[in-house]
């Protein structure tokens, strides 16, 4: 980058930080990694070639795309009465949190408000624990250009029964970067269900850089669900990472339903003894899109458990790659690492990969993997056809069953139904 361009970019980022009223520590971190992000290497993702994708959009603006713009374009969303945050582009349209959760000390607000009102709490965890800026070029870039996000904190011993929801809408009616950060901290012996959705409005070519950090302290339990439906003209990098302490757990249920090119990194670091992560991922690739999904569990703690289940469907000329990585670190005695990755091919022109990787540095452990790439089971099809079900409907039934494990794990019925509708839309060509 030329000196003049760099100076201009520094000025733009500094101005953005001031307009967002960021605390000094956040501004300092942002500007530090703006200087250094181009020095960092790109992450290695096996069998996925993404380096020419437009993933590093340095456009940054505080942008005033508020309710007036949403209303002018007739965008309407059923907000219901559940705990919820809705963000359109980099603007927060609404927040609602019941009084009984506020009284218990639950924090569920946009990231800038949290940084101003709870600076010590945010500073302790933001890009310091689960994901760090220096990991690669994308994490460094994210630290420099993050322009919106959400902070969720659940205090000690607080159990939240109702799911908390976040709806993030990318504003692609304009040229605007979408660099979103979600920071979820579940304190000791707390419990929460969190659901997030990503959507795109408009057809402008944009990129998305999304990082989600989930920190579970001793005994905490998090059920994390996500449905990603970014648009065809959006190139996406998304990194969801769990950092689990003793006897804590995260259950991930993720639907990857984007229409554009995507690289995803879904990781769990089982730091504490007895920590437990279950990662369930479904993906559908259509058209000419490329989706690469790295799912990793690293067992550090003794008797920690990490399981990966990935099911994907590929159609047309699309590509879907599952890389499943299970790594048991030396000293993690009694650890359990299991993974299953399966890809269902519905086209001769599609390409699917399921790559299991096990790295075992300890003897007293349990580990295993299964992987397959294939077509619809002919016996299942024969059974359905023999019952008079048309071939196209029979294929859809088989696919829904193939993806059903993750769908059933999502705690909000409306989100489950939406995911089923999205899968149906993608399968309409059958």
Query: Per-residue pLDDT tens for 364-391?
Result: 999 999 999 988 888 888 888 898 998 8
How far apart are the C-alpha atoms of 263 and 322, rounded to whole Å? 10
Write down the pLDDT at residue 20.
93
Distance between start and end Cα atoms, the chain: 47
Strand partners, 195: 165, 225
3-state secondary structure of 235: strand
User: Half-sphere exposure of residue 391, counting CA atoms within 13 Å on the CB side?
Assistant: 4
307 belongs to a structural domain: yes
pTM equals: 0.94
Write down the pLDDT at residue 77.
53
Query: Per-residue pLDDT tens for 116-158?
Result: 999 999 999 999 999 999 999 999 999 999 999 999 999 999 9
283 belongs to a structural domain: yes
pLDDT > 90: what percent of the chain? 77
Query: Per-residue pLDDT tens for 77-117?
Result: 555 677 999 999 999 999 999 999 999 999 999 999 999 99
394 belongs to a structural domain: no
User: Half-sphere exposure of residue 4, counting CA atoms within 13 Å on the CB side?
Assistant: 0
Query: Per-residue pLDDT tens for 218-259?
Result: 999 999 999 999 999 999 999 999 999 999 999 999 999 999
Total domains present in the chain: 1
403 belongs to a structural domain: no
- Structural domain boundaries enclosing 235: 3-375
**Token pair for 163:** 């799911």
368 belongs to a structural domain: yes
**Token pair for 153:** 């904190």
pLDDT above 80 (res 428): no
21 belongs to a structural domain: yes
Could you give the strand order of the β-sheet that contains 91-96, starting from the edge strand earlier in sequence?
91-96, 84-88, 164-171, 191-201, 221-229, 249-256, 276-285, 305-314, 336-345, 366-374
Between 377 and 324, where is the model more confident? 324
409 belongs to a structural domain: no
400 belongs to a structural domain: no
User: Which own/partner contact pairs does 7-15 have at CB distance under 8 Å and 24+ positions apart?
Assistant: 9/34, 9/58, 10/34, 12/60, 12/61, 13/60, 13/144, 13/145, 15/62
74 CB burial (10 A radius; 0-12, 13-18, 19+): exposed
pLDDT above 70 (res 347): yes
């Amino acid at each position: 980058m030329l000196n003049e361009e760099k100076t201009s970019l520094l000025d733009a980022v500094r101005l953005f930080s001031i307009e967002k009223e960021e605390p000094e520590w956040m501004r300092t971190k942002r500007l530090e990694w703006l200087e250094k992000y181009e020095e960092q290497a790109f992450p290695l993702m096996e069998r996925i070639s993404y380096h020419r994708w437009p993933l590093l959009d340095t456009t940054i603006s505080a942008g005033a795309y508020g309710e007036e713009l949403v209303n002018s374009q007739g965008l309407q969303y059923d907000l219901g009465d559940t705990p919820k945050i809705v963000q359109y582009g980099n603007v927060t349209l609404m927040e609602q949190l019941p009084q009984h959760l506020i009284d218990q000390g639950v924090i569920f607000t946009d990231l800038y408000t949290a940084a101003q009102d709870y600076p010590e709490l945010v500073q302790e965890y933001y890009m310091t624990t689960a994901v760090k800026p220096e990991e690669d070029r994308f994490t460094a870039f994210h630290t420099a250009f993050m322009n919106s996000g959400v902070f969720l904190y659940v205090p000690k011993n607080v159990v939240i029964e109702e799911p908390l929801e976040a709806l993030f809408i990318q504003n692609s009616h304009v040229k605007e970067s979408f660099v979103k950060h979600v920071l979820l901290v579940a304190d000791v012996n707390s419990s929460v269900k969190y659901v997030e959705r990503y959507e795109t409005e408009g057809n402008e070519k944009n990129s998305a850089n999304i990082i989600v950090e989930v920190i579970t302290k001793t005994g905490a339990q998090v059920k994390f669900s996500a449905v990603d439906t970014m648009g065809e003209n959006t190139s996406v990098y998304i990194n969801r990472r769990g950092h689990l302490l003793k006897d804590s757990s995260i259950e991930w249920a993720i639907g990857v339903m984007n229409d554009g090119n995507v690289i995803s990194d879904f990781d769990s670091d089982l730091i504490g003894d007895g920590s437990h992560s279950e990662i369930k991922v479904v993906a559908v690739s259509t058209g000419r899109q490329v989706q690469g999904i790295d799912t990793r569990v690293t067992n550090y703690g003794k008797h920690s458990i990490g399981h990966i289940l990935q099911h994907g469907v590929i159609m047309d000329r699309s590509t879907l790659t599952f890389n499943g990585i299970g790594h048991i670190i030396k000293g993690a005695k009694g650890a359990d690492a299991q993974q299953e990755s399966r890809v269902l091919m519905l086209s001769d022109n599609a390409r699917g990969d399921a790559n299991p990787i096990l790295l075992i540095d300890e003897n007293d452990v349990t580990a295993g993997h299964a992987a397959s790439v294939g077509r619809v089971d002919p016996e299942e099809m024969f059974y359905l056809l023999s019952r008079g079900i048309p071939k196209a409907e029979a294929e859809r039934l088989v696919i829904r069953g193939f993806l059903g494990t993750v769908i059933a794990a999502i705690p909000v019925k409306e989100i489950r139904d939406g995911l089923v509708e999205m899968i149906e839309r993608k399968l309409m060509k059958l």
